[in-house]
Structure 1
Amino acid sequence: MLLSSFRSLGLVLAAALVTASATLAQEKPLRVAEIWEIPTLDPTQDGTLMKEKAMVTETMVAGNPDFTLAPGLATSWTRESDTVWVFKLRPGVTFHDGSPLTAEAVVVSLKAALERSGTVRSYIKIAELAARDSVTVVITTSEPFPALPAALVYASAAIVSPASPKMPDGTIERPIGTGPFKVAAWQPAAQSFTVERFEGYWGEKPSIPAVTFRGIPDPTTRALEMQKGSVDFTSEVPYGDLDTLAAKGFTVSRNVTARNYVLNFGSLKDTPFADVRVRKALSRAIDREEIAQYVLFGMGRAGISAFPDTMAFADKSITVPKSDLAAAKKLLAEAGYVAGSGGAMTKDGKPLAFTLFTYPQRPGLVPIAGAIQSQLRKLGVAVEIKVTTFSAIAKEMKPGDARLAALASAMYPHPDFYLRQTYHSKGATNTWGYANPKVDEALATAATTRDEGERSAAYNLVQRIAAEEEPCLTIAHYGVNVVMKPGVTNYAFNPIAHDYMLDPRMKLAP
């Protein structure tokens, strides 16, 4: 009898240990290899990391996968005049420190973002902020700006508590947001931080208890870390590794996102690139279909316009021209270039040649640069490739150089974002100096009219002019890969993501 009791007790203890082990296994954090370095957690400086990936912060307005708008921390918004908007806050929302989300807190947060981020100021065009009452925020824009609700989707305009710990210079050290996860640990030297589930979240509670992020900028290293088992989720591994990873049991997905591979010139003034015929000659010599199919392994689509035709606001009348070397040579001849020694195209004794800068974090960039170098060699244009960091390019690049980058075409879901900053004469990223009065006029019309048909026509006109004059060369529309270890489930790629967007519904098996 006594022996039987001990056996029963042993079975109970064994079952308890199994249950405890399973519970501990379930409580494992999701380990993410982030594609960029992690120098800061300040949402005004890296809002994408804090909002889309770490899920710490949220914005007033959210974006759907089809690039339409959805309620975020604001449940509704109305336009009282050309420049005055009223936003009603979602009730029952609290920050991670337990304090309530109020209109006053939103005003303080947005003012700080405007002060600390020139990009936020440029994108959102806020002139005044006021709290009409505890749940009503009034925003006055500096000019008529119908894209305001969409602009508030921009991740660096996410709302944080005024109580968020700050450094002496005002940098937010640990953001206190309203999202489903809150910051638990931050190791700047290790480029690593951890977020844990926020039990007081107003929406659906996360399934995973915590997520640990580690900055690993090198794509090959990210692939190796996945195979070593040190991370559970990553993005942007070398395209040539995808089939190998899939064969080893990893979940691999290839997705189209709102980003373009773009070749932009150092300057369109006092350089060969000032001549539209030279730009178009380079464009016609580039075989976009070959790049999309063979260089990108099908990870992307050939493109020439600002948006792929899968996006609602794309002008679908624009088609991608086929590569035509003869037409490219004819354009250069019209621009005064002749074939010199070894077939090099020259004008006034100077060869048409340039340095093409790019960076390695996005795995398609360096291979595309190599393909462009090879294709332009057939035209008689020498291209030297220099791979460095994104920030270093701005310091090293000269007016006669060029850069190949992966540029987001919808940091907020509205055509105004990319078209204005890229093609307006005073656009935020138009550092090459493109100016066309018809483009500026069309963008002004789009910003002031209340007629949706007229606005759409204006944006389409800008797209057609840009595709014809090519102040910068769109090479392809971006494809992004995601790799997960077996057992990571409930993940669906969101095309509105700037890299990848995690989901609180994701699960991690024991």
Structure 2
Amino acid sequence: MKKRLVILSLVAMLGMSLIACTNGNSGEKANSQKEKKIAVGLNLYQTNLDPALEWNGWFVSMYGIGETLIKFNKNMEIEPLLSDSWKKVDDLTWKFHIREGVKFQNGNPLTANAVKSSMDRALKANPRTQEMLNINTITVDGQELTITTKAPHTTLLGNLADPINSIIDTSSPEDTIAKAPVGTGPFKIKSYTDSSEVVVERYDDYWGGKALINQATFKYIKDDNTRSMALQSGELDVANNVSINNLSLFEDKSKYAISKAASLRIVMSYFNFNNEFLKDPAVRKAIALGVDRESYASTLLKGSAAPAIGPFPGSLPFGNKNLNGYKYNPAEAIKILNSAGYIDTDGDKILEKNGKKLSLNIAVFPTRAEIPVIGEAMQAQLKEIGIDANIKSYESVNPILKSGDFDLSLYNVNTATTGDPQSFLEIYFRTGGTSNFGKYSNKNVDALIDQYKNEYDTEKRYETATKIQQILLDDNASLFLVAPMSNMVSKNTVSGMEAYPIDFYMLDNKVDIK
């Protein structure tokens, strides 16, 4: 009887143990199946999700949807992505091997033919792609893709990393691409709300390994204060480009993490060379002397930026080296204007010439917090040298730039997305460049830019870049103001989402949330 009782007790204990184990495993399984989601607040937004149009490719890359043949790491070094190897055959020919085993988010395989189709589409859709790549032919042999260029192209690899060259499945219906492009990234589109929100979900068959989170929601919140409050309230897990005035709200390391990076951006102002006053070199030079870059960087932006000399940040090997820029000198600015015939005849402190007051509009936009602040400071300082400056604020600056309906227009631009100066100089300052909205033109600049195409020596390329920058400064082709830092603020439960020197990397398969 005692033996029977012992056996029954052991059986009962074993059963309870099995039940406990089963319950424990069920709990662990339920916990492991709990979906991980994050919400991200952005200060800028795309026009749609077609990577070949406008600058939309940057967002397609940020959202983890699209990938390029090549990418940059945080040190701006080139790394393989959809192309796992390449070689330069001659000055005009490059061969790329397309990575095996990659699938689009609809299950279709990534082939060299699919890459060619995507690139052909982008080349046809956007003149900026044509400028960047200067492609003559694209041919395919198995998984080998061969690109020939119209001229030697030393920066082709870096230019291919620009997300305008994101590879998408062109076999998808054309009318779906604007809202749901099919890429190869770790996340695919779940929903798209125009001018408001994009939701992406994990693509489980991603070639680089399944993402750690299930879903990410990207919300367009252009107002910095609203975006910061949403992060404080818990509506957001991450916010990008928080203004320097609001960063202090997130200094509690037990709650938040602040990631900063020296960006490759410059805040500059276009000069409209069709404006009757801005055609005058004296007026442009007076403006260059009449704005205080040092105070903008140190006081207005509280040390979160550096005063600019030329179009490239000083952290780059071709930025600010051996350049003669402008120091704040309002007295000299007034002297130059007076010598050019601009005189205050009626005592209102605004200069006139040929019966016309020297009046200019400054276009600003709110999606970059520093732009309106710098615009107001410029307005006050230009009035001190006799220029009637008026602020005009727009929802988005790009339509204004394209229309040419501006005098000066502030702009925040990433000037070295390819790790080399050529692309920016060509697009923004070559005669007829796609982003040369001020219509600046100088034959010497055009000729020097063309020299790049046949120059492979890095130091000589940088020397040429310096010559071009000095001409731009002497001509006052644009007004270069400050080089700002980038930042990203997140809850301390988020990991893997940090500020990059360039803007088009954000969500990948390593991002996680506790």
Separation (CA, whole Å) in 1 of partners of 2:16 and 2:83 = 60
Letter in 2 for 1:199: D
1:236 is matched with which residue: 224, 235, 241? 241
Letter in 1 for 2:85: S
| Structure 2 counterpart SS, 1:262 | strand
> CA 1:396/1:420 → structure 2, altered by over 3 Å: closer, same or farther?
closer
Say whether residues 1:150 and 2:158 are aligned partners.
Answer: yes
| Structure 1 counterpart SS, 2:66 | coil
Q: What is residue 434 of structure 1 aligned with on the other side?
A: 440
Contact 1:357 1:397 (8 Å CA) reproduced:
no
Letter in 2 for 1:32: V
* Residue 366 (structure 1) shift: 0.7
Q: What is residue 62 of structure 1 aligned with on the other side?
A: 71
Letter in 2 for 1:48: W
Say whether residues 1:110 and 2:116 are aligned partners.
Answer: no
Superposition CA RMSD, Å: 2.6
* Residue 21 (structure 1) shift: 5.9
Q: What is residue 95 of structure 2 aligned with on the other side?
A: 86
Q: What is residue 482 of structure 2 aligned with on the other side?
A: 476
1:159 is matched with which residue: 167, 180, 188? 167
Contact 2:97 2:143 (8 Å CA) reproduced:
yes
Separation (CA, whole Å) in 2 of partners of 1:455 and 1:354 = 37
1:292 is matched with which residue: 297, 300, 311? 297
* Residue 83 (structure 1) shift: 2.7
Separation (CA, whole Å) in 2 of partners of 1:49 and 1:376 = 36
Once the two structures are aligned, what percentage of the paired residues are identical?
28
Q: What is residue 225 of structure 2 aligned with on the other side?
A: 220
Separation (CA, whole Å) in 1 of partners of 2:22 and 2:209 = 35
Letter in 2 for 1:141: T
Residue pairs, 1:35-434, within 5 angstroms:
35-45=43-53, 46-51=56-61, 53-131=62-140, 133-167=141-175, 171-183=177-189, 185-189=190-194, 191-247=196-252, 249-266=255-272, 268-269=273-274, 271-318=276-323, 321-340=326-345, 341-388=347-394, 389-394=396-401, 398=405, 401-434=407-440
| Structure 1 counterpart SS, 2:278 | helix
Contact 2:158 2:418 (8 Å CA) reproduced:
yes
Q: Deviations over 1:66-108 (max 9, x none)?
A: 3232222123333334333222222332222333221111111
> CA 1:158/1:323 → structure 2, altered by over 3 Å: closer, same or farther?
same
Contact 2:155 2:418 (8 Å CA) reproduced:
no
* Residue 284 (structure 1) shift: 1.1
Report the more deviating stretch, 233-242 or 370-379: 233-242
Separation (CA, whole Å) in 2 of partners of 1:192 and 1:269 = 38
Q: Deviations over 1:238-290 (max 9, x none)?
A: 33111023349332233321221111122x24521122221121111111110
Report the more deviating stretch, 8-17 or 196-205: 8-17
* Residue 460 (structure 1) shift: 1.9
* Residue 506 (structure 1) shift: 2.1
Q: Deviations over 1:114-148 (max 9, x none)?
A: 122232223222232111x1111111223332222
**Unaligned segments of structure 2, at least 5 residues:** 1-8
Contact 1:302 1:320 (8 Å CA) reproduced:
no
Separation (CA, whole Å) in 1 of partners of 2:110 and 2:33 = 34
Separation (CA, whole Å) in 2 of partners of 1:122 and 1:7 = 72
Separation (CA, whole Å) in 2 of partners of 1:427 and 1:201 = 38
Letter in 2 for 1:363: A
Contact 1:358 1:393 (8 Å CA) reproduced:
no
Letter in 2 for 1:121: Q
Separation (CA, whole Å) in 1 of partners of 2:330 and 2:129 = 42
Letter in 2 for 1:465: I
| Structure 1 counterpart SS, 2:472 | helix
Q: What is residue 467 of structure 1 aligned with on the other side?
A: 473
Contact 1:219 1:363 (8 Å CA) reproduced:
yes
Letter in 2 for 1:360: P
Separation (CA, whole Å) in 2 of partners of 1:75 and 1:335 = 59
* Residue 5 (structure 1) shift: 9.7
Q: Deviations over 1:12-67 (max 9, x none)?
A: 68756753564355x2212112323455222223111111x111111112112232
Contact 1:409 1:418 (8 Å CA) reproduced:
yes
Contact 2:65 2:187 (8 Å CA) reproduced:
yes
> How high is the TM-score relative to the length of structure 1?
0.90
* Residue 425 (structure 1) shift: 1.6
Equivalenced residues, count: 500
**Unaligned segments of structure 1, at least 5 residues:** none
